[in-house]
A and B are shown apart, each in its own frame.
Chain A
């Protein structure tokens, strides 16, 4: 009896039809997950929908579907199905009847199983956060081990949960700069660059110019150039105002949209040149200045220290200060996923482009 049940379970787990059905079930959940915004805060949903819709979606678990058992259980079953199918191929054909065809097929299925395991490791153990630094500032980085999925699960399994800590080193921002390029008379941002130093016990132990697409890797952590912030100071009729780019500067009964400050290095054909700093003030329609950005009337460009007259009001751009924003991440699975990805891609390419005999299938049979 037990043997019959086990045989049936094994048959189900190695069934091609079951694999197809599981993939389609997962696909259906993914379609929902693609169309319903996932993992946003309450405010976001309440802004977009009425309260009733929000509560219905939340109660059905559709706002965080990829972390709910409704998705995770079929995903785990699919992983199990993949593993059993790979083992079944090897069991049937190894060692006597194994051919290159079956070996490659079993191996790339196993690589996919390995990737599944990697995704689980990421899900359980990865953590990260963001850190803001002003030029010259140094900070320790919070290691949010206590906020991982594993930290939530461990106490339920009777194990000690990892705790939040801080790095033993400090991260110091030496400088932050923006590089620009010119095209048809207009200036575009090319890159944001932060000169970062890792300082341990007063010594600089590592340094790197961190750019978009080029993070600093240190002590198992990766630090990415993610964002920047500008606080811009204006003088309006002798009154000091400080705001961020994208905010509105009230001048009399007018509201002026403040652009990002353009300031840094222009990478021109004849070598690098300084550019700016200047800011643009755009007059917005009074009733909907915060919504219809396209409806702006021509703006005013103000260089640092320059003054202008806006309908009888004296406006000057005094100064600005910047901070650089970094995201950081520790994911113990990434290295293994890289290896498995290369193995999977190489094997599936061999299987299809080499073993399927390239284009010979196009020839008409005689």
Chain B
């Protein structure tokens, strides 16, 4: 019963996020309220999955993509709600990304399996929750940065939102990476082994570190820092999703592949 609700709502959300992207493009009224309604439906889906699996639902790619979309949409809608800026392109981009992410997730196996012994640890939540919270803020930051760049009237507040979101996300990503290192130390005895996925996550951290410092430098504050914001997003998406594909293509040995 729960499994069929889960799958049905998951697919409905793919369509809803695609519809929201189109609605932002067409600038329809009531879009914010509709977005919140879809997000509430997504919250319901997470609750159903939680009940179904009997643990925090973030272990498989099917579950992680759902959590990514849920948290990214929440971060975006909160900034939009309290920031009171009119937006269009950021909404198109953000909801298109979420529709694509959930669409990809819908192709994955939703079967519930127990956690493997290495994942069955308190570190699982300690590591995953801050990492995904940071991803959510980074994706919203990317969307606002893109809207700032593509609109003719450069609205500084969008650039400002983006910078602040990254500033808020950075400690969470740091905590996610360091807690992952602590977990690796408890499991394998090595807090850092230069595993390709670990390295990719450190690349993301470094790009955002460079962004934060560049945005405070008079020389780098404008174009270079905005380029770094875009690169940071690309790096984050690569670490989260692209890495799995590349690791398979290049035969990279890793202990961190999603199933």
The chain A residues found within 8 Å of chain B, CB to CB, are 16-17, 19-20, 23-24, 26-27, 30-31, 33-35, 37-40, 44, 48, 66, 119, 122, 128, 181, 183-184, 188-192, 211-215, 222, 224, 226, 327-329, 331, 334, 337-338, 341, 344-345, 348-349, 352-353, 356, 359, 361-364
The answer to whether A17 and B217 have CB atoms under 8 Å apart is yes
Selected A-B contacts with CB under 8 Å, 5 pairs: A20-B214, A38-B194, A122-B191, A345-B171, A345-B174
Which of B19-27, B36-44, B90-98, B200-208 lies at the interface? Answer: B200-208
Task: Give the distance to chain B from A292, nearest Cβ to Cβ, in Å.
Answer: 15
The answer to whether B220 and A37 have CB atoms under 8 Å apart is no
Docked pose: A331 CA to B188 CA in angstroms: 12
Task: Give the distance to chain A from B108, nearest Cβ to Cβ, in Å.
Answer: 17
Q: Which residues of chain B are within 8 angstroms of A353 by Cβ–Cβ distance?
A: 168, 171
In the complex, B114 has a CB within 8 A of chain A: yes
Q: Which residues of chain A are within 8 angstroms of B117 by Cβ–Cβ distance?
A: 189-192, 211-213
Docked pose: A90 CA to B16 CA in angstroms: 53
Q: Which residues of chain B are within 8 angstroms of A331 by Cβ–Cβ distance?
A: 189, 191
Docked pose: A267 CA to B160 CA in angstroms: 54
Knowing A34-B196, A222-B189, the reply to whether A17 touches B220 (Cβ < 8 A) is yes
By Cβ-Cβ distance, the 4 closest A-B pairs, closest first, are A329-B189, A212-B117, A34-B199, A362-B82
In the complex, B253 has a CB within 8 A of chain A: yes
The chain B residues found within 8 Å of chain A, CB to CB, are 79, 82-84, 112-114, 116-118, 120-121, 123, 157, 160-161, 164, 167-168, 170-171, 174-175, 178, 182, 185-192, 194, 196-197, 199-200, 202-203, 206-207, 209-210, 213-214, 216-217, 219-220, 224, 243, 246, 250-253
Docked pose: A166 CA to B170 CA in angstroms: 44
Docked pose: A337 CA to B191 CA in angstroms: 10
The answer to whether B251 and A352 have CB atoms under 8 Å apart is no
Q: Which residues of chain B are within 8 angstroms of A222 by Cβ–Cβ distance?
A: 189
The answer to whether A341 and B186 have CB atoms under 8 Å apart is no
In the complex, number of A-B residue pairs with CB atoms less than 8 Å apart: 138
Q: Which residues of chain A are within 8 angstroms of B175 by Cβ–Cβ distance?
A: 345
The answer to whether A20 and B220 have CB atoms under 8 Å apart is yes
The answer to whether A213 and B121 have CB atoms under 8 Å apart is yes
The answer to whether B185 and A334 have CB atoms under 8 Å apart is yes
Knowing A34-B199, A359-B82, the reply to whether A27 touches B206 (Cβ < 8 A) is yes
Q: Which residues of chain A are within 8 angstroms of B157 by Cβ–Cβ distance?
A: 364
Task: Give the distance to chain A from B215, nearest Cβ to Cβ, in Å.
Answer: 10
Knowing A37-B253, A352-B167, A362-B82, the reply to whether A30 touches B203 (Cβ < 8 A) is yes
The answer to whether B203 and A361 have CB atoms under 8 Å apart is no
Q: Which residues of chain A are within 8 angstroms of B191 by Cβ–Cβ distance?
A: 122, 331, 334, 337
Knowing A327-B188, A362-B82, the reply to whether A35 touches B113 (Cβ < 8 A) is no
Task: Give the distance to chain A from B87, nearest Cβ to Cβ, in Å.
Answer: 14
Select B202's contact among A30, A184, A334, beta carbons within 8 Å.
A30
The answer to whether A20 and B83 have CB atoms under 8 Å apart is no
The answer to whether B114 and A213 have CB atoms under 8 Å apart is no
Smallest CB gap from B54: residue in A: A183
Docked pose: A265 CA to B199 CA in angstroms: 38
The answer to whether B178 and A361 have CB atoms under 8 Å apart is no
Q: Which residues of chain B are within 8 angstroms of A119 by Cβ–Cβ distance?
A: 192
Docked pose: A329 CA to B200 CA in angstroms: 25
The answer to whether A224 and B116 have CB atoms under 8 Å apart is no
Add 12 more A-B contacts to A226-B188, A359-B82 (CB < 8 A): A23-B209, A24-B210, A37-B196, A37-B251, A188-B114, A213-B186, A213-B187, A215-B189, A352-B168, A353-B168, A362-B82, A362-B164
Knowing A35-B250, A215-B189, A348-B171, the reply to whether A26 touches B116 (Cβ < 8 A) is no
Smallest CB gap from A187: residue in B: B114
Task: Give the distance to chain A from B113, nearest Cβ to Cβ, in Å.
Answer: 6
The answer to whether B114 and A345 have CB atoms under 8 Å apart is no
Q: Which residues of chain A are within 8 angstroms of B200 by Cβ–Cβ distance?
A: 34
Task: Give the distance to chain B from A365, nearest Cβ to Cβ, in Å.
Answer: 9
Smallest CB gap from B163: residue in A: A361
